[in-house]
Structures are given as C-alpha cells and as structure tokens.
Structure 1
Amino acid sequence: MTQASVSTAKWTIEDYHRMIDAGILDDRHVELLNGEIVEMPPEGTPHAAYSQNTGDYLRSLLGSRVRIREAKPVTLPPNNSEPEPDIAVVAPHPVSVYVQHHPYPEDIFWLIEYSDSSLKKDLEVKTQTYAAAGIREYWVINLKAKELIVFRSATATGYQSEKTFTEGSVTPLSFQDVSVSVRQLFS
C-alpha cells in the first residue's frame, strides 16, 4: 500500500482578505504567514505595556518622519503574508494611502516584535518571512532574557547580520541621526 502525501492548502492575500470581509475570521486572532493562517497567542501584560511604551518612545524620537503602527497588519505580497507586528515603523504617507492598503515592504523602515511565548515563531518563521520580503531591519525583543536581537541585511534566504544587545543604544538603518536606548525598550 502506498502512503498518501498530505499537502496543506495555501492562501493568498486576496483569499485572506475575502475571509476577513466575509466575517469568517472575526472571532479569531490570526495572521497570514507564508500562505498559512496562524493563530496568535494572547498578549500578556508585560508584552502589552512594553510595546505600548516603545511605540510612544519611538513617536517622541522620530516625530512626523514616520507613522508608528502598533499591532496592525503589514502586507508582504512576495510571500503571501500579512503579519501583525507589535510595532511597524512605516513611511508617513497620508491616511488616504493606508485606507487603500496596509504598508507594503517599500513603506516599512523596520519592524519590532516583543516575544515571550511567540519567541520561536518570531526568531524562525518571521525572520525568514520578513527577510524574504525585503524588510531591511527587524528587531525581536526577548522578554524572558531582556535582550534586543537586531536583524539586518535581508536576503531571500534570511538576514545576513544578527546582533544581540542588553544595554547601550541602537541606531536604526533608516535614521542614522537617532539613537534608541535598549534600556528604554524594557521600561
């Protein structure tokens, strides 16, 4: 007897949007990653508090040069993904642009994920997804270890640079005049 192969149905961004429009996903906290609809774990209180604080902090540092989107989708067409990063630092297009579509890779300066229970997904799946989409810079804030992991130099197969910080500051690639305090990300 031959063993049947199992294949998973992959969804496009358009399929995903039709499901959202039809209300199929209303009671689910999900995101689209590489054509798969993935459940998102609930946010714990440290995760919610730190990510909100960081959003406010980045607004104070960057002002009107960016839009800070917190837990909102970004659309990554090359790999049929529409994740909801904790923080997306994006181009300050007029609202009328973002009413038409979520930020695309060319609109994104960098993405930030706060990680506790989602650390494995954020370091493996999302790192690959973001790099393949050409996101220049991706930060993972590991809540358990109180460390910032900065990924840069995206390629189709992943990021070429990975650095871990527990103190000091980091200068984002797109804003060489800005210094982000690592300590502030945890306060």
Structure 2
Amino acid sequence: MTTTYKWTIERYHQAIDAGLFDDQPVELLRGAIVVMPPERETHAYYNSEVGDYLRTILGNSVKIREAHPITLPNDSEPVPDLAIVKPLGAIYLEHHPYPDDIFWLIEFSNTTLSKDLNEKKAVYSQAGIAEYWVVNLTGRKVSVFRDLENECYVTEETFTTGVVSPQFFPDVQIQVKRLMN
C-alpha cells in the first residue's frame, strides 16, 4: 500500500518561503503538489492577448490576474491562466483571491486539455467557483461551465463563434473568436 503526503496550504506556503520550489513551477491541487508544464509560445500569447482584451472590455470593474495563484478551501492553490477577480487592491498583499473574490476563471489548453476538463474542473467546482471557461486551442472551441449543484457544474455550453457573456457581467459580450485568434 502506498501512502502519500497531503500538503496543507500552510505547509505549502512554508515550503515556498523556504525556497523548496524555486527552480520548478508547481501548484497545489487537493493536497498534492503538481509540476506545471513549461509554457510554450502559443499558450503565453493567448494568455497575454486575452488578458488585455478582457481589461479593455471590463475596465476597472475587475482585476485580471494572469498566471497567479488563487487559494481554495480544498487544500488547493492552483495557478489558473486567467482569474477575473474583484479589484480588492492591497488585500491581495495578504492573501491570494479566495472563491468569493473570483468572478470566473479561464484555462487555455494546448497540451493540458484532459487535466483542465477533469481534475481542474472538479477542484474549481468543489471550491465553489461560479464559472469556469476552458479555451481548447487545438479544437478551436470554448467550454463554459456554470450553475453549481452539489459541488458540480450542471451547465456546459460550447462555443466556436458568436459571443458569450460572463454570469456576473450579463451585459458584457465577449467575442469567442477573440479568445482563440
């Protein structure tokens, strides 16, 4: 029988502060430290471009965090590609955004599609993240997950064209093509 060590967020932060992961990008998912794959040009491009696009559309009503951690109650501190969060200013000096601070999350998937559609989706829904988008860069589509029931998303919509409006900003229309072009 194999026993694995489950990390708490507190111990994970202590390890980070001690420099344990300085040479390796990692994230904490359900108490497990997960090594993040190196970010290639395509992924970096979309992350940056879509972050800028959303800043233009949403203005000062949100803070767009690119590839920065969020802190979740299920011993998880993932690093979503984009976190659209409340603009709480210096509060984020004290802690990363919590679920109540998050409007929605976006992951760009080139080689991590299975992880983003399964493990990360489950972590986000169980933590109470109201809305989660996966931009499938290879399949050229956007999957939008919403409507939490029993810690699971019950609504999934797939877009290849048109517009999508975030749940917290129903009057905002985001061009689907701008998420992939």
Of all paired residues, the percent bearing the same amino acid is 54
- Matched with 2:110 is 116
- Cα distance in 1, alignment partners of residues 149 and 120 from structure 2: 13
- Cα distance in 2, alignment partners of residues 179 and 93 from structure 1: 24
One-letter amino acid matched to 2:136:
N
C-alpha root-mean-square deviation of aligned residues, in Å? 0.8
- Cα distance in 2, alignment partners of residues 156 and 28 from structure 1: 35
- Matched with 1:81 is 76
- Cα distance in 2, alignment partners of residues 133 and 124 from structure 1: 14
Structure 1, residues 95-151: CA drift from partner, whole Å, max 9, x if none?
Answer: x20000000000000000000111111010000000000000000001110110000
Point out the structure with max Rg over C-alpha: 1
Matches within 5 A, 1:141-180: 141-180=135-174
Higher mean displacement: 117-126 or 156-165: 156-165
By how many angstroms is 1:29 displaced?
0.8
- Cα distance in 2, alignment partners of residues 30 and 155 from structure 1: 30
- Matched with 1:24 is 20
Structure 1, residues 17-54: CA drift from partner, whole Å, max 9, x if none?
Answer: 00000000101111000100001111121111111110
Residue of structure 2 aligned with 1:52, choices 45, 48, 51: 48
Residue of structure 1 aligned with 2:87, choices 73, 83, 92: 92
TM superposition score normalised by structure 2 = 0.98
Name stretches of at least 5 consecutive residues in structure 1 with no aligned partner: none
Aligned pair count reads 181
- Matched with 2:128 is 134
